[in-house]
Each structure stands twice: as C-alpha cells, then as structure tokens.
Structure 1
Amino acid sequence: MKIAIVGATGNHGTALLRALHDTPEITGIVGIARRLPEEEPPYAGVEWHSIDIAGATPEEEAVAALSAAFAGADAVVHLAWLIQPNERRELLRRVNVEGTARVARAVAQAGVPHLLVASSVGAYSPDAARSGAAEPPLRDESWATGGVESSHYSVDKAAQEEVLDAFAAAHPDILLTRLRPGLTFQADAGSEIHGYFLGPLVPVRALRAGRPPILPVPKGIRLQAVHADDLARAYVAAILRKVGGAFNICADDVLGPQELADVIDHGRFVELSPALVRAGLLAAHKAGTVPADAGWLDMGLEVPLMDNSRAAAELGWRPTVSAADALSELLDGMIAGRGLPSPPLRPRDKDERLHPATGARTGHGAAAGGETVPEHYTKDLLELYLSDHLTGATAGVNRIEKMAADYIDTPMFAELSGVAAEIRSDRELLRTVIADLGLARKPYRQAVAWVGERVARLKSDGRVLERSPMTMLLEAELMRSAVNGKLGGWETLREHAEGLGLDPQVFEDLIDSSHRQLRTLEKVHAYARERALRDNRDTFWD
C-alpha cells in the first residue's frame, strides 16, 4: 500500500512515519509539508514534496500540486494544522479549514479511495456535566461537534468537521475516517510543544534542579491524552482495516489535579478559580510572555471526556502508554529540549546535526589540560570580540525568527524559516566556542541586544494598522548586513583556529553556510523589492 501524509513533519506525522515504516503492508510513503525535514530516520525512505496547502498558494495551484503528489496512493492522511500565530485568525482559518477542503478536493481529483483526517477532542461542544462533577461521564463519538466558542482552535476544528461532512455527502464512494485524539505527547515533541504553548520565558529547564513544592491548577481541570505512537497505531489500524467513521483516541486514565501534580511536582496541588487562572493567562498572552491564549484553558475545562471503546471494538486498538506516562515523557523532553531534524520539531538548543556535541576543539588547549587561551593571544580582546559577535547573533536570531513568523503567509516563509533555524544554530555554535575557550559571554550585552531588537520593531514604516509592503525589503537588507558581519567573524576564527586549538573545518563549514544564507536572503530581497514601492502589487501573495 502507498500512503500519502499531509503534514508529515510534526508531532503526529513523525509518529505516523515511524509506525508506517514498521508496517510490512506499507510499500511506499509520500510526505507533504511546506518545510521539508532532513532525510534522517524517521524521515528517510519517504518521497517528499514541498507543498503549501493554503498559506500563500492560490487554491487551483495547491489542489493541482496535491493531486499530483497523491497519484497512486491507497490512502491520504491529513494532519496539517497551523497552531500559531493566534492573532492571525484569517490565516489560521484559511490554512486549517480551507486547507482541509483543498486536501479533500485533491483526494477526490486523484481518485484516492480513503481519506483519514486528524480531528480533535477540541471539535466537541461543551459538556455541562463537566461543571462540578468529580467524575464526569464519558461521551462517545455521537456528541455534537460545535466547538468551544472562545477557543479559535476549537472553533476551527468544528468548522473542519463541517467541511468533512460536506465532503462525505458529496463523495460517498470515498471512505472517510476521522480520528479525534486527546492531547498528544511524546518526548521528541518537547521543544515544539514548549514553544507553541509556554514560550521561551517559561523556565522549564529549571525543573532539572528540582520540582515545585506545590502545583497550582484551575479547579475542574480534567485532561485526556494519548502517546503519539499509540495515536499512530490507530491511524495504521484504520488504514489496514479500511474502517470509516469517527474515533475517539485517548489513554484510559484521566489527568486531574492529583495526576498532574504526581507527574509535575511532589504530588501536592492547590486548586484556583478558573476565572483567576484565565485572567492571568489572558494577561500573560497579551504581554507576549506566553504564546497560548485563554481559549486553550476554556477548551480544557469544557470539552467532554471521551469514551474510546469504539476504537477498541472496530479498530482493535488499545493504548499501550498511560496518559500520566505520556505526560511524564513529554515533560522530560521539554526539560531536555528534545526534538528531531524536522522544522516543527527542531531541538531547543544546539543543532547537533550541524555542530557535533564534541564542540569545536581539536584536542589542544583546555581540552588537553593546558591554558584555555594560548599566551600569545590577548584574552580580553578575544573575549570582547567574541562577546560582541554573540550580541549581534542574539539580535539576528530575534529578527530573523520574527521575519519568518510575520511572513508565514508569503511564498518566502519556507526560505526564511530555514535561514532562521541555521542562524539560531550558528549562535549556539558560537556559544560553544566561547565556552571551549573559557571566556565570559557578557550576558548583559546580549540582553541589551534583545531589548534593542524589540524596540526596533516599533519603528514607523508609514503603516500602523497593517503591514507595510516596504517592511520585508528593509528587514531583508538588515539581515543581509547581519549575516555579512557574522561571515567576517567566522573568517577571523578560521584564520586563528589553529592557534586557538580549534578545528578550522568547523569555520569553513560555517562560512559556506553563511554564503548560502546570503543567497537565500537575496532571493527574499528580490521578491520584496519587486513589490515594496508600489501599491499595485500584493506583497504577501504571488
């Protein structure tokens, strides 16, 4: 069987790839994503296509590309879903709801007999029985899918269900399967989930040193979860058995206050008013300190608890990992900054694929027991030089990541996202070099750069309530200057690598990488300059 996966690089898709690779009946896998992964397990052995389903591609073009990629497939699994940015509601709706309609249309056009779609517990309407009940009843798949009004995720999942209802009515010959999982956890999604919901200012790494003495939780919280690998097995079972319909997919245990406290701290918790927690989350989100908005809390408190017995009866599926164990694994992954070589799942810190964990040393200097900085170098000058480059790298990372986020709805997103990942990785390598040489990083200078870059975002470009067509042009020019500056730093370190006991090849590779980044930024600049100075061209679409 040949299976195509739309959204094959995220949390769900990665687990499904692992499961399909382990299934003898599967003879071919097609992976579709806007940004492609490194071809390492589980992403190796896959026929990859870079297709934007709705973010910045007109409908006919997207459907044609999808139809071509689906040719000869026995089933298509649609997993793609855009979580952020919360404030870009039109974009989220277009990618998530209209994108689902486009995928379904392409399935019909390509003659694929089976479509499987990732729905969610979030599609369900609120359950009044949740309020005040110590053990709320479990609901089956017949519960209404009207969503939770205050949650954009839930509203769009409900709208997706409507798209699927219409597709099923129009194409009764195509088998349609909807899986409605609970929260989906795995260690390798640690960095992704941390970034989507908690953000860099929430210090999960501090949990390495110890757990909080008591866990504050909103009163009435009850969560259902499933391990990503268990969810993947449910998809495979539905594919092999050719079973249609909707299926609740969750572990058997429910995560209430006690269960959450047992995993996250020492088993002690205090229940807080949901209104108080909501107000705090709303304030934190508006301040930009937490990515998740209050709608996620509302959904967690209002959706029904699911009965997973239909999956057991019709798919032969049972969870093998409890919700508590899946949460514990995720927490460990978040603390460690776990990830995989795909754009959504990139590890939080160093990119070990580009810069091996052994560091930049050659075996000389401190690594061999001698002085960290050789005597013929002036330590203060070297420390100041590298610290200043680290300061510039910090500002560059912040700016390029903001650019990628701002232009997610343009054809340049994939290029900007790739450069952002490389520049962040380069900064981590520079930190490693500074540490290898026993030098101080002067963090106050990086803090000033962080603040300065954010103040620079407030600059006027002649537009207040909408994006200016000139902004991408100016930012591309600033980033080209920044990368050229970084290139000079790598060239200097290559010149002195032998004398400092560093590996010259590391810096040769970084110089090559910087030239690639400049070529990509030139492509972005060319796209922007064609559109920036005229009002008769749309900057954000082809």
Structure 2
Amino acid sequence: MSAHAAAREAPAPDASARRRCHGGSMRVVVVGATGNAGTALLRALHRDPQVTSVLGVARRLPDRSAEPYRHAEWAALDIAAEDGNEAVVDRLAEQFRGADAVVHLAWLVQPNRERDLLRRTNVEGTRRVGDAVVHAGVPHLVAASSVGAYSPVDDDVPRREDWPARGIPTSHYSVDKAAQERVLDELEAAHPDVAVARLRPSLIFQADAAQAVVRYFLGPLVPVQLLRQGRPPALPLPAGLRMQAVHAADVADAYRRVVVERARGAFNVAADDLLHGADLARIVGHGRLVEVPPTAVRAALAVAYDSRLVRADPGWLDMAMTVPVLDTDRIRDELGWAPRRTAAEAIEDLLGGMAVGQGVRSAPLRPATPRPAGESVLPLRHRGPVRVPESMDSGLFGLYLADHLTAATAGLELVERMVGSHQDTPFHAELAELAEQLRGERELYRDLLHRLDVPLRRPRQALAWLGERAGRLKLNGRLIQRSPLSAVLEAELLRSMVVGKIGGWRTLREHAADVGLDAAQLDDLIGLGHRQLDLLDRFHAYARERAFRTDAPESQPSER
C-alpha cells in the first residue's frame, strides 16, 4: 500500500482531541503567503479564532499596510537562494520555531524556460522547508500539491487520493509536482512524528488573481482588456476539454480545516461541477463553442510559445487534457469541507477581475493598472475620465508626469539593489516591502500617462536605468567590494527621491478635481510617502553608525 493510501485508510484522530493539543491557540507559518492561495488563506486564518498568530514568509514582501497582509507578521526569505541548503534551512528553521503548523504554498510557474530555477524552487525548496520543519520541531506540515501531480487518464471517472501521483511527462509543472510528492513521501517515512498533509486542488481562481493569470500564462499581447466591452461571440477550445475549478476562498477553507484539525495525508479539493466545452463557452462568451482538434491547438500553442507571444508552453495543454477528475469525498467526510462557490462562479469571478485589471498589493497578485472609482483594492482611483482641461497646459503636465515616472524607475532600481545587499540586516523585510510599494507607484504613473495619451519617453527610462547603475560606481572607498559607506549614500539618495515623489503626489492632489483623480487616495499616498521617509531615516541612522567604525558589529550591512 502506498503512503498516500495508508494515510487515507488510517482512522481520523478525534477532532476535539486535536484541538486540545493546541491549548486553544495556534501559531501558523505560511510559506508563499503572497500568492493566489496564500492571500486567500491569510483571510481564512484571520477569521478563525483558534489561530492567534500568523507569520507570512515570502521572497518579496507585500504592502503590509494592505488587506489581508496587515494581519500577519512577515519575514523575507527566498527558499531557492543559492547560499547552500544548510544556510537556507537554518534561516527557515529560525522562523518556524514555536509554530504549530507550517503551510508550504511557495511555487514558481515562471519563467518556463529556466528549468533549473523552477526545480530548485519547487522541488528542492519543498525539501528545504521539510528539513526546516524537522529541525524546528514543528509537528505539522501542510503542502500545496495539485491535480497536476496525478498520472494521466483518458476518461471522466473521478479518482480518489490513491490514484498514482507520477505526473504527466510533457508538463514541467506536473513533473515537478510529482517530484514534490516524492519529497513529502520521504519526509513522512523518515519522520513519522511529523504529520504531513498535502492538498491536491483543481484550478484555483479568484478575481484578485486575474493579473497573475494574465502575466504568468497569457502575456501582454493577449487583449484581455476587451472583456470590458463584453464577452467574445465564440470560444475556440480543444475538443474533449473538461475542467474542474475551485474558488480560492474555498481552497483556503480547506487548508484552514487541515491546519486546525492537524489532519494528515492527501486531500483532493474541487467544486462540484465538471465543466465541458459548451459550459465554458456559456461562461466566457455567448454560448457558441468552436471545437478545434487538440493536435492543432497544441501546434499553434507551440508556435506562439516559441515566438514568445504567449507564456504558457504546450505542456500546460497536455496537462489540461489528461488530468483526472477529482473525487473529493475524503475532505468532505473527514473535515466537513464543502465548496461555497461552483467552478462556473470561480471562473466568472476571474473574468470579472481580468476585465478591470484587479489585484492586491503583493508582487504575484499586483493589479495591472488603477481601476474606476469604488474598487478600493487599488492604490489610486479615478472619479471619472482622466483628462487635462483646457485651462491647463497638457504638454507640460504630461512632461511632469513622465519625469516622475523616470524618477520612479530609478528609485525602484535603487531600492531593489538595497534589498539584495542588506539581507542580513534588521531592515531587509521593510526594504522589500518598500520595493513593492514603489513598484506599484511606478505603475500608477504608467497608467496615468497612458490614459492621458502622453508618450512614455522610453529613452528617459533607459537613462534612469543607466544612471542608477552608473551611481554604483561612486567613490565610496572600495572599487570591487561594497563599502559600508554605500548604505549611507543609498539611503540619502533614495530619501531625496521619496521627497520628490511626495511633491509629485501633492501636485496631483492640487489638480485632482481638474483631471478626475480621487483626492482622498492621493492624501493616502502622501501619508505613505512620509512613512517611507521614516523607514529611510531609521535605516540611515543604522548605516551611519556602522559606516566608519573599525569594530563594526556582526549585524553590519552586507558586503556582498
């Protein structure tokens, strides 16, 4: 009997006994807490009174003032770092100590073409998380597997958790998910005292993940913005396609139940409805389905992928056509889980998010552009059409915005360098968060220029990029190594950029009524700028204390 089958057949421990072992409170660590499932899980854990403490771990931190990220503690850590397994495991174990459960959701789907990076993150990253769980003495590990881990089928018969999880050979995602399953099997066998669970959900959709789907799979040339004008008259699909899906909120509820009940083994997760081509045509378009031979679709996708027109390689189609239908009886019977939304509703939610560029303030789920008034997840709202009235000089106003975009580009380049250079300081997490804030603000300027039909002046962006790198050659007393003085100079330069940025927000605030912007949100952005200045002042004090000392403490900024 396989480890999965044995876990399925074992009787479930009494739920009340499992809750008693937590003493009425739980600390949960979520690795990969800024992605699709992770963001939804943060919401679910925040609502559960048994969960009293949540630590989010991510390579790039979200805006920690935004929902739902503000309800968690945060640590910036890259599970695929090339520092060596032992160093990464030690850093993870330090964050895991004292936790009742670790939920491992981190998974890289792009860049498709860099297989070494994908495998190091997805497979070896899982091994590192598992080793850190053992070293930290955490009693429960919950990992994100997938329907894609299963071996292929050619029918619609629902499969339970004991179906082989050997993957689909032509899909790198499926191959890595199957390899991840083997890593979890090895951990279970070597450390039976650790309760290991793995969830195998179908496709996970929510409106907040809309732009992630566009970025990771479709690419910039696919005109999803046309969904704002309506749905397509016909939908071409490979003949024989059928799909299971589940809303991210329902997946999050499944993870929450597994965590609080300290369940172990594999659990399939999917909504009740199985969608075929005609169903998808009704959801996405106006009900007209155009069936295309799968071989023709695969050939066209291969050409588009090789031409870099789309980001999904043909392996994704192979997986979509051959994954099994999931039987979800186990999680329903043992944990009382049931989906609140159908697969059709999950897809509708995603399409609505695509139409308006929806997202939240994390790197994986960031919105495409600001959206119309009333949609509060965005960094800035428009009260009406963005326009320059005749009373204003549109040329000068556009040039002003373009210059601020140039400055935002240079500032983002600088802070991303600082994030990489100061990983071993107490400010790494806050600098990573600042980078995400500046990235969103740069996109805001891009959107305003687009709506005002002002050219982006790409040579200026290139000069900003080159200028930031030329600034790295400043005389700081070291030619090859970074100098401790670099941190002082970087903080001073970035501070001046943020002061200038605040001036830009104040200027837009002054003309908000004229150009159709939301003045209250511009006030929020001004306030955010002042909080960024506070961070840079604290970092500057930290750096200047150490810059000129010959007996610098161990926590000195990194020399890398």
Q: Indicate the SS of the match to 1:372.
A: coil
Contact 2:81 2:88 in 1 (8 A): no
- For residues 386 and 22 of structure 1, what CA distance do their matches in structure 2 show? 44
Does residue 1:150 correspond to 2:170, yes or no? yes
- For residues 336 and 500 of structure 1, what CA distance do their matches in structure 2 show? 22
Q: Partner of 2:316 in structure 1?
A: 296
Residues 125-140 of structure 1 aligned to structure 2 (within 5 Å)? 125-127=151-153, 129-130=154-155, 136-140=156-160
| RMSD after superposition | 4.6
Contact 1:116 1:178 in 2 (8 A): yes
Shift of 1:10: 1.0
1:78 pairs, out of 83, 88, 104, with: 104
1:357 pairs, out of 359, 375, 381, with: 381
Equivalent residue letter for 1:75:
A
- For residues 291 and 199 of structure 2, what CA distance do their matches in structure 1 show? 32
Shift of 1:123: 0.5
Q: Partner of 1:286 in structure 2?
A: 306
Shift of 1:260: 0.7
Shift of 1:349: 0.8
2:389 pairs, out of 361, 369, 372, with: 372
Shift of 1:164: 0.7
Deviations 1:462-500 (A, max 9, x none): xxxxxxxx9xxxxxxxxx999999998986896898699
Q: Indicate the SS of the match to 2:198.
A: strand
Q: Partner of 1:422 in structure 2?
A: 438
Does residue 1:382 correspond to 2:399, yes or no? no
Change in CA separation of 1:61 and 1:394 when aligned onto 2, cut-off 3 Å: closer
Q: Indicate the SS of the match to 2:166.
A: coil
- For residues 164 and 525 of structure 2, what CA distance do their matches in structure 1 show? 58
Shift of 1:149: 1.1
- For residues 153 and 10 of structure 1, what CA distance do their matches in structure 2 show? 17
Q: Partner of 2:45 in structure 1?
A: 20
Q: Partner of 1:532 in structure 2?
A: none
Shift of 1:511: 8.2
- For residues 379 and 343 of structure 2, what CA distance do their matches in structure 1 show? 35
Change in CA separation of 1:172 and 1:513 when aligned onto 2, cut-off 3 Å: closer
- For residues 512 and 52 of structure 2, what CA distance do their matches in structure 1 show? 52
Contact 2:75 2:429 in 1 (8 A): no
Deviations 1:17-60 (A, max 9, x none): 11111212212212111122223332223221111112344222
- For residues 289 and 483 of structure 1, what CA distance do their matches in structure 2 show? 39
Q: Partner of 2:34 in structure 1?
A: 9
5+ residue gaps in structure 2?
A: 1-21, 467-479, 481-491, 541-558
Shift of 1:166: 0.7
Shift of 1:317: 1.5
Q: Indicate the SS of the match to 1:27.
A: strand
Does residue 1:89 correspond to 2:118, yes or no? no
Shift of 1:515: 8.6
Percent identity, aligned pairs only, is 42
- For residues 335 and 120 of structure 2, what CA distance do their matches in structure 1 show? 32
1:119 pairs, out of 126, 130, 145, with: 145
Q: Partner of 2:353 in structure 1?
A: 333
Contact 1:392 1:449 in 2 (8 A): no
Equivalent residue letter for 1:91:
L
Shift of 1:253: 1.0
**TM-score (ref. length: structure 1):** 0.75
- For residues 347 and 321 of structure 2, what CA distance do their matches in structure 1 show? 18
Shift of 1:157: 0.3
Contact 2:102 2:140 in 1 (8 A): yes
Change in CA separation of 1:355 and 1:11 when aligned onto 2, cut-off 3 Å: closer
1:34 pairs, out of 42, 59, 63, with: 59
Contact 1:225 1:326 in 2 (8 A): yes
**TM-score (ref. length: structure 2):** 0.73
Contact 2:76 2:429 in 1 (8 A): no
Change in CA separation of 1:187 and 1:274 when aligned onto 2, cut-off 3 Å: same
- For residues 221 and 536 of structure 2, what CA distance do their matches in structure 1 show? 30
Equivalent residue letter for 1:426:
R
1:212 pairs, out of 232, 235, 247, with: 232
Shift of 1:319: 1.6
- For residues 505 and 377 of structure 2, what CA distance do their matches in structure 1 show? 21
Deviations 1:511-537 (A, max 9, x none): 879999999xx9xxxxxxxxxxxxxxx
Shift of 1:420: 6.8
Change in CA separation of 1:307 and 1:116 when aligned onto 2, cut-off 3 Å: same
Change in CA separation of 1:68 and 1:214 when aligned onto 2, cut-off 3 Å: same
- For residues 510 and 270 of structure 2, what CA distance do their matches in structure 1 show? 56
Equivalent residue letter for 1:344:
P
Q: Partner of 1:110 in structure 2?
A: 136
Deviations 1:237-271 (A, max 9, x none): 22232221111111111121011111100111011
Deviates most, 505-514 or 285-294:
505-514
Equivalent residue letter for 1:35:
R
- For residues 122 and 25 of structure 1, what CA distance do their matches in structure 2 show? 32
Q: Partner of 2:543 in structure 1?
A: none
Q: Indicate the SS of the match to 1:5.
A: strand
- For residues 293 and 266 of structure 1, what CA distance do their matches in structure 2 show? 28
- For residues 450 and 70 of structure 1, what CA distance do their matches in structure 2 show? 45
5+ residue gaps in structure 1?
A: 131-135, 457-469, 471-479, 523-540
Shift of 1:414: 10
Deviates most, 321-330 or 38-47:
38-47
Q: Indicate the SS of the match to 2:331.
A: helix
Shift of 1:429: 3.7
Equivalent residue letter for 1:240:
V
- For residues 496 and 261 of structure 1, what CA distance do their matches in structure 2 show? 43
Deviates most, 195-204 or 326-335:
195-204
Change in CA separation of 1:272 and 1:484 when aligned onto 2, cut-off 3 Å: farther
